[in-house]
Amino acid sequence: MKWQDTHITEVLVIGAGLAGERVAVEAASHGHECTILSLVPPRRSHSTAAQGGMQASLANVAMGYGDNPDTHFEDTVKGSDWGCEQDVARLFVNLAPIAVRQLSYWGVPWTRVVPGKKVLPDGREIEDLPEKEGLIAQRAFGGTAKWRTCYAADGTGHVLQYSMDSMVIKLGVTVHDRMEAVALIHDGEKCYGAVARCLRTGAFRAYLAKATVIATGGYGRIYGTSTNAVINEGTGMAIALDTGVVPLGNMEAVQFHPTGIVPTNILVTEGCRGDGGYLLDKNLHRFMPDYEPVKKELASRDVVSRRMMYHIRQGYGVESPYGPHLWLDIRHLGTEHLYTNLREVCTICGNFLGVDPAKDLIPVVPTQHYSMGGVRTNIDGDAYGLKGLFAAGESACWDLHGFNRLGGNSLAETLVMGMVVGARVADYVKEAVVDFSPPLVSDAVKQQEARVQQLMASKGTENVYALRKQMEETLLNKVGIFRNEADLQEAVATLADLYARSQHIRLRSNGLGPNPEMSAALRLPGMLRLALCIATGALNRQESRGSHYREDYPKRDDANWLKRTLAYWRPGADKPELQYESITINELPPGDRGYGEATGVTQLGD
Amino acid sequence: MEQRTLTFSIFRYNPATPEITPRMQDFQLDENPNMTVFIALNRLREEQDPSLMFDFVCRAAICGSCAMLINGRPQLACKTLTADLPDHITLMPLPVFKLVGDLSVDTGTWFRQMCETTEAWIHTDAKFNPKAEEERMDNAIALDIYEAERCIECGCCIASCATANIRDDFLGAAGINRMARFLIDPRDQRSPAQVFEVMGTDEGVFGCIGLMACDFLCPMEIPLQTQLALVRRKMMAAALSCKCKH
Ligand SMILES: Cc1cc2nc3c(=O)[nH]c(=O)nc-3n(C[C@H](O)[C@H](O)[C@H](O)COP(=O)(O)OP(=O)(O)OC[C@H]3O[C@@H](n4cnc5c(N)ncnc54)[C@H](O)[C@@H]3O)c2cc1C
Ligand code: FES
């Protein structure tokens, strides 16, 4: 390693999405020096893809009048199927309105209230009052009792990220993009920073800091199909797990969305079905009424996903080079409706499928969408297990979402948790000093350099892309929407085998510089460790809760399973060690979610 | 539809092996239905040459990572369907930006620099009051700001700009559009004279020679010509009012 390349900073934030940038802005506003690492320029982070909006109980629009943090709290806890930390949810709902307004102050062009009478699709007439004119507008999202989702036209995530990044630039926060954190530097008690690999040159570099924050987003891409960006590979969670002392919480809690398009898995909004779209099978038969005579296509997000997968398994999927899919039919909604109310859907279909939804069917399949699990932290954002390590955003398990996240709550989480953790980190670094032992640092870097050398010299036979494909398929087929003992056992065995084989990868290219095959080979073992945490957690949890659905245990079981999974990966182990902890339930005791189906949740939106 | 075999001619250069000079390399690939250049490049990497470098993030035309020259024209590779292209497809990295390797270029550094030069953030003396209701705004203004804010910093306008190709300090359509976004935002308290310092120069609006390839090529269909005219008009007004005062 080259010591002269070592970068020293007070706060090291790994990840430049909304959560990471919000933490950095808070810490920098308290006068602390921050450095952000990111795989890509901040404005290309996955947060920019969120279109729907963020929840905060402002009560600005007619359908939101009377809303307050209590109602938001209740929606969140029910949505989580009582898996969330209630003190965290309480803190969150109280701060969300402040976060939204602060973003307005920083420049977000939130859509605003235009007063007047309006007619809803179901014929109800409502009126937005003149005294609310110009306040932040809010729209409906599933699973919420009130219209609470603040939005900026059809690009909420984009404008939030651009405004956050403008603050990062204003405050002069250092950003190193194309810089991938590949290991944490720690001694089993305290975290001293991270080793990173430059994706421009392939070189390793040590970053030393008083506080290190993981804000690396979700791991969607370890599943074969995901609505997530292609860089969402979970490496941030993996390096926390690799320490052997930091646990990941509830990794088996994985959310699926019914309508990702085939082949690119880009999300099309649930508004298509909300507005009256049908799902058809290979015989062009509308099958949802067969399963759900009352709610049909409008049954809850997890129920529809499950019915779709079941129908495909029965052999009714449409074959394609990209695997079987079903059709979404919105032709009957009419050109005018489609081109005004579902404009983004038309654009996506035109751009990525070359089809016109007014005339053609849209190929769709249920698709991995959100990771509820992540680096387990306390309510302040301190990671379990290591002092000086924090986490925020989708990569964290703060535990706001429990076993099912509500649409619109994750953008809000990135900003609220970013604010909370940023303030906590600012406090922490005031007391802390940069101290580290040079051998600890150089050993951490050498260990990574050795991995590269080993891959360059490998006599193995395994192909990184082939192994990766098998991991994706195993998770999708055996640890997906339907889960059962036999499949999960098989998944754990297959993944364990793939993990062993991932130690014998041989590159087919020279691996020099920013070589993408080398990057993939370095990442794969960590991704497989996450996959094993998910599969093992799912196998152990003998109940159905939120998005975790066990065919062999279809009911929620509060007597035995009202608890959170903590997955550890001890040094040298070949499988995770699971522990359980209790959930903070200080306000709302477990009850019926009120969605009709025991494990269902109605969620419209993104 | 008859299945085609496509030929991709791809620019290759890895800075880690400078002794190998830049070259074009040909690959063959069977076309599948709904194949985008994103899918094609990933298949080429996984099946034929795992060292191939390119950038995709959202693969949904949202993040601006994947602009490249496709048969000579700057566009987003993720939203380009191969069905719309001839059998022979040439892929080159975007000009103007620093090359990272093969089809990958460093747009991030360029855009951060542009944002620093234009001070692309809200300038205000107001303090945020966490207890207060938000400041009101007319929805029409919010939508106008949103329209300009839709830029995804992909770099297509810069790559196609005659001035940016010869002057590396030119802010280009992306920079001018960014400034327009703040000019129409009532929260930004900068005076026309302050904006003039950055924009009323040859690096700013007056560097544009009016070819307007940017307006034609913008994947987000932002009306760049209109935005440029807006900033120009404001800069002329600022220049005149400064002169009058002297
Ligand atoms: C299609 C889609 C639509 C959505 N719509 C909504 C919505 O309407 N409302 C809502 O509330 N939520 C929505 N979500 C969820 C929400 O967008 C995400 O949960 C949220 O944006 C995550 O933000 P983040 O900051 O935690 O992570 P990200 O935005 O994913 O950022 C992660 C950052 O970490 C960096 N990084 C990752 N690994 C490393 C590493 N090893 N080293 C260095 N840097 C690293 C990346 O470069 C990136 O900068 C949607 C999600 C999807 C997929
Ligand atoms: S990959 Fe994001 S715009 Fe193409």
Contact assignment for A351 to B185 by CB distance below 8 Å: no
Question: Chain A within 8 Å of B189 (Cβ-Cβ)?
Answer: no
B63 close contact with A: CB closer than 8 A = yes
The tens digit of pLDDT for each residue in A34-56 reads 999 999 999 999 999 998 889 99
Q: Per residue in A222-273, pLDDT tens? A: 998 899 999 999 999 999 999 999 999 999 999 999 999 998 899 988 778 8
Q: Are A361 and A327 in contact (CB under 8 A)?
A: yes
Distance CA A253, CA A549 (A): 10
Q: What are phi and psi of A198, to 5 degrees?
A: -75, 125
Residue with the larger pLDDT of the pair B194 and A104: A104
pLDDT, mean of residues B168-178: 92
Q: Is the pLDDT of residue A598 over 60?
A: no
**Mean pLDDT within A114-133:** 90
- Whole-number pLDDT of residue B244: 52
Residues of B in contact with A515 (CB under 8 A): 14, 16, 50-51, 53
Contacts of residue A146, defined as CB under 8 A and 6 or more positions apart, other chains included, come to A57, A59, A63, A64, A66, A67, A71
Q: Confirm if A235 and A182 have CB atoms less than 8 A apart.
A: yes
Residue B211 lies in a domain: yes
- The answer to whether residue A597 scores a pLDDT higher than 70 is no
Which H or E run includes A343? helix A343-353
Cis peptide before A439 (omega within 30 of 0): no
Lowest mean pLDDT among A68-77, A150-159, A494-503, B57-66: A150-159
Whether pLDDT at B245 is above 70: no
**Rounded (5°) CA angle A453-A456-A462:** 120
Single out the catalytic residue among A139, A273, A501, A593. A273
Same-domain pairing of B152 and B182: yes
Q: Are residues B59 and B120 in the same domain?
A: no
B65 lines ligand 2 (CB under 6 A): yes
The pLDDT, as a whole number, for residue A603 is: 39
Q: Which of the listed residues B45, B69, B92 is the one where a domain comes to its end? A: B92
Reference A29, options A127, A130, A106; nearest CA is: A106
Residue B195 lies in a domain: yes
A537 versus A264: the higher-pLDDT residue is A537
Interface test with A, best of B139, B144, B147, B222 (most A CBs within 10 A): B139
Residues 324-353 of chain A with CB under 8 A from chain B are 348, 351-353
Is B97 among the domain residues? no
Amino acid at B180: A
pLDDT digits (tens, 9 = 90+) for B20-74: 999 999 999 999 988 999 999 999 999 999 999 999 999 999 999 999 999 999 9
Bridge pairing between strands A374-376 and A396-397: parallel
Q: What pLDDT digit, counting tens, does each position of A128-142 carry?
A: 999 999 999 998 877
A576 lines ligand 1 (CB under 6 A): no
Is residue B146 less than 8 Å (CB to CB) from chain A? yes
pLDDT the model gives residue B242: 64
CB pairs A-B closer than 8 Å = 208
- Regarding whether B69 and B165 lie in a shared domain, the answer is no
Residue type, A105: Y
Helix%, strand%, coil% for chain A, nearest 5:
40, 20, 40
The reply to whether B37 and B129 lie within a common domain is: no
H or E element that contains A366: strand A362-371
At residue A594 the predicted structure's pLDDT band, cuts being 50, 70 and 90, is low
Asked if residue B154 lies in contact with residue B58, where contact means CB atoms within 8 angstroms, the answer is: no
CATH number of the domain within which B237 lies: 1.10.1060.10
The ligand placed nearest to the CA atom of residue A371 is 1
Chain B, window 194-223: residues with a beta carbon less than 8 angstroms from a chain A beta carbon: none
Look-up of token digits 């999300």: A267
Write the DSSP assignment of A74-125 as a string of letters.
HHHHHHTTT-S-HHHHHHHHHHHHHHHHHHHHTT----B---EEEE-TTS-E
pLDDT of residue A604: 39
Q: Is A143 helix (H, G, I), strand (E, B) or coil?
A: coil
Ligand nearest to the CA of B220: 2
For a substitution probing ligand 2, which of B42, B55, B56, B75 has the most ligand atoms within 8 Å of its CB?
B56
Q: What does pLDDT average to over chain A?
A: 93
**Lowest mean per-residue pLDDT among A485-499, B79-93, B195-209:** B195-209
Find the mean pLDDT for residues A282-299. 88
Q: Are B129 and B69 in the same domain?
A: no
Whether residues B127 and B213 fall in one domain: yes
Q: Does residue B246 register a pLDDT over 60?
A: no
What is the rounded distance in angstroms from the CA atom of residue A564 to the CA atom of residue A403?
A: 10
Higher-pLDDT residue of A555 and A435 is: A555
**CATH code where residue B47 lies:** 3.10.20.30
Q: Is residue B227 part of a domain?
A: yes
pLDDT of residue A606: 47
The pLDDT confidence band at residue A602, using thresholds 50, 70 and 90, is very low
Rounded Cα distance, A324 and B10, in Å: 32
> DSSP code of B161?
-
Partner A contacted by B130 (CB < 8 A): yes
How far apart CA B241 and CA A497 sit, in angstroms, is 74
CA–CA separation, A410 and A374 (whole Å): 13
- Is B41 exposed, middle or buried (CB count within 10 Å of its CB: 0-12, 13-18, 19+)? buried
Whether residue B77 sits in one domain with residue B117: no
Nearest C-alpha of chain B: how many angstroms from A462? 13
B151 and B85 together in one domain = no
Q: Say whether both B121 and B229 belong to one domain.
A: yes
Ligand 1, atom nearest to A395 Cα = 26
Yes or no, beta carbons of A229 and B58 under 8 Å apart: yes
Give the distance (Å) from ligand 1 centre to CA of residue A230.
11
Span from the CA of A297 to the centroid of ligand 1 (angstroms): 28
Task: Determine whether A405 is an active site residue.
Answer: no
Contact between A107 and B185 using a beta-carbon 8 Å cutoff: yes
Instruction: Report how many domains make up chain B.
Output: 2
| Predicted pLDDT at A339 | 80
Residue of A nearest to B38 (CA): A264
The percent of residues above 70 in pLDDT, for chain B, comes to 98
Residues B220 and B170 in one domain: yes
Q: Please return the burial class of A423, using the count of CB atoms within 10 Å of its CB with bins 0-12, 13-18 and 19+.
A: middle
- For the stretch A302-348, pLDDT in tens is 778 889 999 999 999 999 988 899 999 999 988 887 887 787 789 88
The answer on B142 and B59 residing in a single domain is no
Tokens of A326: 């079903």
Distance CA A241, CA A374 (A): 10
**CA–CA distance, A83 with A529 (Å, rounded to integer):** 24
Whether B102 maps to a domain, the answer reads: no
Over the stretch B7-19, which tens digit does the pLDDT of each residue have?
Answer: 999 999 999 999 9
* Two tokens, residue A548: 């975790």
CA distances from A548 to A554, A563, A600, B128 (A): 10, 14, 11, 41
Neighbours of A457 (CB within 10 A): 8
Confidence of residue B243 (pLDDT cuts 50, 70, 90): low
Q: How far is CA B124 from the centre of its chain?
A: 27
What six digits make up the tokens of A83?
């898996």
Give the closest residue to A540 by CA, choosing from A560, A512, A521, A510.
Answer: A560
Contacts of B237 (CB under 8 A, 6+ apart): B192
pLDDT in tens, A65-101: 999 999 999 999 998 999 999 999 999 999 999 999 9
pLDDT (tens digit per residue) in A176-204: 999 999 999 999 999 999 999 999 999 99
- Catalytic residue flag (residue A273): yes
Question: Of A149, A164, A35, which is closest to residue A102 (Cα–Cα)?
Answer: A164
Nearest to A397 by CA among A408, A413, A419, A415: A413
Classify residue B100: in a domain, yes or no: no
Find the CB nearest B149 among A109, A114, A202. Answer: A109
Residues, chain B, total? 246
Look at residues B66, B92, B118 and tell me which one is the last residue of a structural domain.
B92
- Tell me which of A39, A43, A259, A353 to substitute to probe the interface with B (most B C-beta atoms closer than 10 Å): A43
Q: Using the 8-state DSSP alphabet, how is residue A226 labeled?
A: B
Label residue B2 exposed, middle or buried (CB < 10 Å: 0-12, 13-18, 19+).
exposed
Long-range contacts of A348-356 (CB under 8 A, 24+ apart): A348/A261, A348/A266, A348/A268, A348/B60, A349/A261, A349/A268, A351/B61, A351/B79, A351/B81, A352/A261, A352/A264, A352/A266, A352/B34, A352/B36, A352/B60, A352/B79, A352/B81, A353/A261, A353/B34, A354/B34, A354/B81, A354/B83, A354/B84
Give buried/exposed letters for A210-223 (b at 16+ CB in 10 A, else e).
bbbbbbbbbbbbbb
For residue B205, what pLDDT band results from cuts at 50, 70 and 90? Answer: confident
**Ligand 1 atom with the shortest distance to the CA of A235:** 41
B70 plus B149 within the same structural domain: no
One-letter amino acid at A410 equals S
Q: Does A177 touch chain B (CB under 8 A)?
A: yes
- Sequence-distant (6+) residues with CB within 8 A of B195 are B179, B182, B183, B234, B235, B238
Smallest Cβ–Cβ distance between B135 and the set A98, A104, A351 belongs to A104
Atom of ligand 1 nearest to the CA of A218: 30
Give the orientation angle of helix B139-149 with respect to helix B172-183, to 10 degrees.
160
Substitution target from A135, A264, A367 for chain B, most B beta carbons within 10 A:
A264
Return the amino acid letter for A474.
T
Q: Which of the listed residues B61, B92, B123 is the one where a domain comes to its end? A: B92
Q: Taking CB atoms and an 8 Å limit, are B122 and A513 in contact across chains? A: no
Range of the domain at B9: 5-92
B101 in a domain, yes or no?
no
* Contact present, A236 and A216 (Cβ < 8 Å): yes
- Angle between helices A516-540 and A438-457 in degrees, nearest 10: 100
Distance CA A479, CA A254 (A): 9
